Chains A and B, each alone.
Chain A
Amino acid sequence: MAIKTGDENFFTRVDKGINNEFMRKAVATAQGRIDGRRRDSISSLGDWEEWRNHAEEIRQHTLENLDFYLEQLAENVEKRGGKIFFAETAEEANEYIKNVVSSKNAKKIIKSKSMVTEEISMNQALESIGCDVVESDLGEWILQLDDHDPPSHIVVPALHKNREQIRETFEDKRGYKKTSNPEEMALFAREQLRKDFLEAEVGITGCNFAVAESGSISLVTNEGNARMATTIPKTQITVMGMERIVPTWEELDVLVSMLARSAVGQKLTSYVTGLTGPKDEGDVDGPEEFHLVVVDNGRSKILGTQFQSALQCIRCAACINVCPVYRHIGGHSYGSIYPGPIGAVLNPLLGDYDEWKELPYASTLCSACTDVCPVKIPLHNLLIEHRRMMVEQEGKAPFAEKLAMKGYAFAASSPSIYNMGTKTAPSVMGPYSNNGFITNGPGPVKLWTDIRDLPELSKGKDKFRTWFENRDKGGN
């Protein structure tokens, strides 16, 4: 799928989002529910701020010493009979994975949910050599069946779909005959995918956190599909973003505890699985061969910069679940597999400002994201930093903002011109006014009024300067 999910421009995507009432309702409900569960689940942990502080210090220490811990991981993976490959680019990762798959003459691949494999377009790479790649996470499977509809949320990828749409997809693609009852549909997925699990020659997973001290990888899941993908096929390939690592099992505990709560409001998910190398001698189930692919794909250029804290991310989506902008425009508007505040921070870093210039502005800077982040990424500050970088170094502020700022610079350069401007504005804007609000403004104002109404500019008495002078004289 790659990071970018389509070619439409930002405003077209936002328009579609804003006008999709079902999606907006679904997102609002989902945000309320998931964040509610998150809050309930953290209340039982005692001092949540202490947990956040601890998680932050773990992530910071690990990133500062990332080369050391990855080397330790590599040694331990090899010690346990696994193979590790370091891929600087998506192409290198896919090349390695294709090689492993071809060397097994494998045609059927079962996958559990993994953002990094989406990021590197691994499925397409494997399909290009004739493999059948089956997504086994229920949400991902629904999207895959629906002609690769892009995900709109990193934890609940099919959040934008209602049950009737899902039932139709099942009927069209797999001849499903029953109702849109979620239980019936999940049972159908169980039956359908069971065959795929049993037939698959290679299982591919992501990795929530690798454990350096033992060369282990961990998978945090609820459905059991990742366990299936690592129990039945003879070959396992695990793909991880290079920053997803902890020093020891003790730090794994802390981050998994916070991930489960922040992502889905559970104390632990149904399954937390720690896998070390291929199966042990004498073991019956589990893979005979284990490959770990560590992916950079733009991450190393974030290290050592003012954006390094973005790599602390554990992909819980808590920031997405509280974001008022995401609530209104939905996941697809971001145009990336990484939506919401973390997406707005991450996409311009993994890609560039040319491609993602609008995203740092898709935020009200309310800082709700920063407040919920379990690893204390200062998300809204990083968004401001992006804006600063774009304006200062790259000159890439949105055109309307540039124009407005130029006009403002001219007007503000002389008090008399400025005063004239603020006095004449109400009459200029008058024709656009509707009951005290401007609902369809001209020029640069249009971008604003397409989304919300602008209060009509007042004639004289409520103007800031007038108000301020009045206040000085004892008014309010």
Chain B
Amino acid sequence: MSVVKTNNKDKFLNKIANSLGRERKTEGVARPKWKHQPQYEVFKGMNQDELLEQLVEQCDRIHTTAKVTKLENLPNVLKEVIDELGGKSIVNWKDPRFDEYNLNDIFEEFSNEEGNEFHVWDSTMFEENMKIAERANIGITFSDMTLAESGTVVLLSDKGKGRSVSLLPATHVAIIPKSTIVPRMSQAARKLHEMAQKGNVPSCVNFISGPSNSADIELNLVVGVHGPIKATYIIVEDK
């Protein structure tokens, strides 16, 4: 079998420069100061409460259940949500926020119940994690950034924060600290731009807006295709 030795880059890029009628540019190109920047006008000047209101409103449009709770009541609300979704099996991120938000007890209680399966993402278990996630009923994650305009939770992958948790189970629950809510994708993009400058963008950044869906059959919206069939956001007043 032949092995490709070169990536053909120079020939390819020279051809582009040639078509553009100039020498190849390998340095000295900076983004111009853009003449138009409408994206920062959206929800400009809104406080966290107003952004929260926008987020909840948008959830309705994207077939997502939104619950808002105070920090002390979060365990009860989460328990309620787990019951509503039919319980049985849960897979969680390994994320210190579960502890910070005092959620360990309810998971302990859950896993003690007979017939229930509870798993916390564990990188030492390799692919076993994905098998468990695949048969899980509920996957639970925390939102790293939350976009009010589009009802989006932004999940940054990491060792303990597997991509599968928000993808393979039948339902997805995202816990949203209110402080993570920003107006729209632009603010999250700026943050990612800063991370990119430092060279530490995570291997997978997911912007998730509700459950999976498709309109490929006669343009009828079907909620739930390959990703989760249901999505629930629990927004917690953390500060």
A residues with a Cβ closer than 8 A to B are 26, 29-30, 33-34, 44-47, 50-51, 53-54, 57-58, 61, 64-71, 74, 79-80, 83-88, 92, 96, 99, 102-103, 136-139, 142, 156-159, 162-163, 166, 182-183, 185-187, 189-190, 193-194, 197-198, 211, 213-214, 216, 222-225, 227-228, 230-232, 242, 247-254, 256-257, 264, 266-280, 282-286, 294, 296, 300-304
The 10 closest A-B pairs by CB, nearest first: A224-B227, A86-B12, A253-B189, A139-B216, A54-B36, A224-B212, A282-B159, A214-B196, A267-B150, A224-B226
Per a CB cutoff under 8 Å, which of A57, A166, A279 touches B203? A279
Contact assessment for A227 and B152 in the assembled complex, using a CB-CB cutoff below 8 Å: no
Give Cα distance in the complex from A83 to B204, angstroms: 17
Chain B residue nearest to A34 in the complex (CB): B219
Contact assessment for B130 and A232 in the assembled complex, using a CB-CB cutoff below 8 Å: yes
Per a CB cutoff under 8 Å, which of A54, A157, A230, A249 touches B196? A249
Contact assessment for B214 and A138 in the assembled complex, using a CB-CB cutoff below 8 Å: yes
Residue pairs across A and B with Cβ atoms less than 8 A apart, 5 shown, are A186-B217, A223-B213, A227-B167, A269-B209, A284-B125
How far apart are B176's CB and chain A's nearest CB, in angstroms? 16
B residues with a Cβ closer than 8 A to A are 1-4, 7-9, 11-17, 19-21, 24-27, 29, 31-32, 34-39, 41-42, 58, 62, 121, 123, 125-127, 129-130, 134, 147, 149-152, 157-159, 162-164, 167-168, 184-186, 188-190, 192-193, 195-197, 199, 201-220, 222, 224-228
Contacts of A230 in B (CB 8 A): 204
Chain B residue nearest to A272 in the complex (CB): B207
Per a CB cutoff under 8 Å, which of B25, B32, B134, B159 touches A68? B25
Interface of B is mostly: loop
Contact assessment for A61 and B31 in the assembled complex, using a CB-CB cutoff below 8 Å: yes
* Given A138-B216, A139-B216, A284-B130, A190-B2 contact (CB < 8 Å): no
Contact assessment for B129 and A250 in the assembled complex, using a CB-CB cutoff below 8 Å: no
Contact assessment for A214 and B201 in the assembled complex, using a CB-CB cutoff below 8 Å: yes
Contact assessment for A222 and B214 in the assembled complex, using a CB-CB cutoff below 8 Å: yes
Chain A residue nearest to B160 in the complex (CB): A282
Contact assessment for B202 and A296 in the assembled complex, using a CB-CB cutoff below 8 Å: no
Contact assessment for B209 and A268 in the assembled complex, using a CB-CB cutoff below 8 Å: yes
Contact assessment for B12 and A213 in the assembled complex, using a CB-CB cutoff below 8 Å: no
* Given A86-B8, A224-B212, A267-B58, A216-B201 contact (CB < 8 Å): yes
Contact assessment for B214 and A186 in the assembled complex, using a CB-CB cutoff below 8 Å: yes
Contacts of A47 in B (CB 8 A): 38, 41
How far apart are B55's CB and chain A's nearest CB, in angstroms? 12
Contact assessment for B213 and A66 in the assembled complex, using a CB-CB cutoff below 8 Å: no
Contacts of A69 in B (CB 8 A): 29
How far apart are A94's CB and chain B's nearest CB, in angstroms? 12
Per a CB cutoff under 8 Å, which of A139, A250, A270 touches B212? A270
Per a CB cutoff under 8 Å, which of B25, B215, B216 touches A142? B216
Q: Supply 16 further A-B pairs (C-beta < 8 A) apart from A166-B217, A223-B214, A225-B226.
A: A68-B26, A86-B11, A92-B8, A99-B1, A156-B215, A185-B217, A194-B226, A216-B205, A227-B163, A227-B227, A231-B163, A249-B190, A271-B206, A273-B204, A284-B126, A304-B20
Contacts of A283 in B (CB 8 A): 123, 157-159, 162, 203
* Given A54-B34, A102-B1, A273-B206, A88-B218 contact (CB < 8 Å): no
Give Cα distance in the complex from A17 to B9, angstroms: 43
Among A99, A103, A273, chain B packs the most CB atoms within 10 A around the CB of A273
Contact assessment for B214 and A284 in the assembled complex, using a CB-CB cutoff below 8 Å: no
Contact assessment for A250 and B38 in the assembled complex, using a CB-CB cutoff below 8 Å: no
Give Cα distance in the complex from A302 to B15, angstroms: 12
Give Cα distance in the complex from A156 to B215, angstroms: 8
Contact assessment for B29 and A65 in the assembled complex, using a CB-CB cutoff below 8 Å: yes
Give Cα distance in the complex from A163 to B215, angstroms: 12
How far apart are B22's CB and chain A's nearest CB, in angstroms? 9
Contacts of A194 in B (CB 8 A): 226
Give Cα distance in the complex from A231 to B204, angstroms: 9
Give Cα distance in the complex from A422 to B10, angstroms: 62
Contact assessment for B34 and A58 in the assembled complex, using a CB-CB cutoff below 8 Å: yes
Give Cα distance in the complex from A471 to B225, angstroms: 65
Chain B residue nearest to A189 in the complex (CB): B225
How far apart are A331's CB and chain B's nearest CB, in angstroms? 14
Contact assessment for B147 and A268 in the assembled complex, using a CB-CB cutoff below 8 Å: yes
Contacts of A45 in B (CB 8 A): 38, 42
Contact assessment for B157 and A71 in the assembled complex, using a CB-CB cutoff below 8 Å: no
Contact assessment for B36 and A50 in the assembled complex, using a CB-CB cutoff below 8 Å: yes
Chain A residue nearest to B205 in the complex (CB): A274
Contacts of B149 in A (CB 8 A): 44, 267
Give Cα distance in the complex from A146 to B180, angstroms: 46
Contacts of A284 in B (CB 8 A): 121, 123, 125-127, 129-130, 159, 162, 164
Give Cα distance in the complex from A421 to B152, angstroms: 67
Contact assessment for B19 and A286 in the assembled complex, using a CB-CB cutoff below 8 Å: no
Contact assessment for A231 and B21 in the assembled complex, using a CB-CB cutoff below 8 Å: no
Give Cα distance in the complex from A467 to B208, angstroms: 63
How far apart are B27's CB and chain A's nearest CB, in angstroms? 8
How far apart are B17's CB and chain A's nearest CB, in angstroms? 5
Among A71, A162, A228, chain B packs the most CB atoms within 10 A around the CB of A71
How far apart are A161's CB and chain B's nearest CB, in angstroms? 8
Contact assessment for B222 and A278 in the assembled complex, using a CB-CB cutoff below 8 Å: no
Contact assessment for B9 and A274 in the assembled complex, using a CB-CB cutoff below 8 Å: no
Contacts of B190 in A (CB 8 A): 249-250
Contact assessment for A271 and B203 in the assembled complex, using a CB-CB cutoff below 8 Å: no
Contacts of A102 in B (CB 8 A): 1
Contacts of A214 in B (CB 8 A): 192, 195-196, 199, 201
